[in-house]
Amino acid sequence: MTSFNLPEWSHPHRERVLTCLRNAFTTEESALHQACLYPIETGGKRIRPLFLCAGLEALGVHLTADHDAYIAGASIELIHTYSLVHDDLPCMDNDDFRRGKPTVHKQYNEGIAVLVGDALLTKAFEILTSLKTTPAQAVQLIQLLGKAAGSVGMIGGQSLDIGFEGTIDSIERLTKLHRRKTGALIAVGLEMAAVLGQATPTQQEALHTFGQQIGLAFQLADDLLDAEEDAQEDGPPNFTKLLGEEGTKTLAEQTMKQAIDSITELPNPSALLALAEFTVRRNH
C-alpha cells in the first residue's frame, strides 16, 4: 500500500474540474442550465478527470490552475454524467435515486432528463474547442473522446449490456462489454494525458496499457461492491456471477498489478499508482 495522500492530492484537481463544469452552464441563465447543473452538483468521485491529471503528472507535467487538463477532464466528466442521467431513465435502468438524491427524471421529468443528457453530451465536445493547445491536438482529443463515448466505446458496451448483440455467456464477451461500457471512459483520460503531455511513443504505450487495464479493474471492483445486490437479480451476468467473489477479487488485483507494472518507469507515477490502488480497493 502506498503512503501517498490521495484525498489531499485530489482536492485541488477536483475543485478545478468542478469550476470548468459549472462554467459550462453559467454562460446564460436558463431553467435547462439549472437542470444540467443538478447532476453536476450531486458530486461523484470525479475519478475520470483525476486519471487524466495523474497521467499528466506521471509524465512530469506540473498542473497550474489554468492547465488544459481541467477542461479536458471536465469533458470526460460531462460524458460520464450524461450516461448516468440517461441510464437512470425508465427505458434503461429505471432508478429513482443516484448519489443519495432523486435522479434527474424524478427531480424534473423524463423529457427534461433526456434533454439534460443531450446537453451534457454536446457540451463535452463544445468545451474541447476552447483549449489553449494547438488545433491539431484539440482535434486529437475530440476524436479520442468521440471514440470512447460512442459505438465502439461506452455506447457499444451499453448495447452489449442490454442484449442487443446477443447473449453475454462468457468471460471474453463480458470483458469486451466492460472494456467498452466502463473502461473506455477511464482509458480515454490516459490517452488524453499522453496527447496534452506530449508523451514519447514508449510513454504513450505505457499510459495506454495502464488505461486499458485500470478501466477493466474499475468494473471488476464495481461488480464486487454490487455483488450482494446482483446475486438476487435475474439480470445479465457480471464478473461475480461468472467467477465468484474470490475469483473476481483475484482478477481485479491481477489486472491492477498489470496496470501498475506498465507505468513504473514514468518520471512521476505516484498519483497514478495511488489512484490504481484506490480503484480496486475502494468501498464506494
Which residue ranges make up the site for ligand GRG (CB under 6 A)? Answer: 44-45, 47, 83-84, 86-87, 92, 99, 154, 158, 181-182, 222
Q: How far is CA 42 from CA 98, 99, 103, in A?
A: 9, 7, 10
- Torsion angle of the four alpha carbons 269, 275, 279, 282, in this order, in degrees rounded to the nearest 10: 140
Question: Which among 116, 148, 144, 117 has a CA at the least distance from the CA of 128?
Answer: 144
Judged by beta carbon, residue 52 or residue 154, the one nearer ligand GRG is 154
Cα gap 122→117, rounded to integer Å: 9
Judged by beta carbon, residue 103 or residue 158, the one nearer ligand GRG is 158
Q: How far is the CB of 41 from ligand GRG (least distance, A)?
A: 12
Q: Cβ of 91: how many Cβ atoms within 10 Å?
A: 10
Judged by beta carbon, residue 84 or residue 252, the one nearer ligand GRG is 84
Judged by beta carbon, residue 88 or residue 266, the one nearer ligand GRG is 88
Q: How far is the CB of 197 from ligand GRG (least distance, A)?
A: 23
Cα gap 237→183, rounded to integer Å: 17
Q: How far is the CB of 177 from ligand GRG (least distance, A)?
A: 10
Q: How far is the CB of 71 from ligand GRG (least distance, A)?
A: 18
Judged by beta carbon, residue 61 or residue 189, the one nearer ligand GRG is 189
Residues making up the chain, counted from first to last: 284
Q: How far is the CB of 202 from ligand GRG (least distance, A)?
A: 29
DSSP 98: E
Judged by beta carbon, residue 39 or residue 203, the one nearer ligand GRG is 39
Judged by beta carbon, residue 25 or residue 203, the one nearer ligand GRG is 25
* List of residues 6+ apart from 69 with CB closer than 8 A: 49, 52, 53, 56, 63, 193, 196
Q: How many Cα neighbours within 13 Å face the side chain of 199?
A: 24
Q: Is 53 helix (H, G, I), strand (E, B) or coil?
A: helix
Q: How far is the CB of 144 from ligand GRG (least distance, A)?
A: 17
Q: How far is the CB of 239 from ligand GRG (least distance, A)?
A: 12
**Which residue has the CB atom at the shortest distance from ligand GRG?**
44
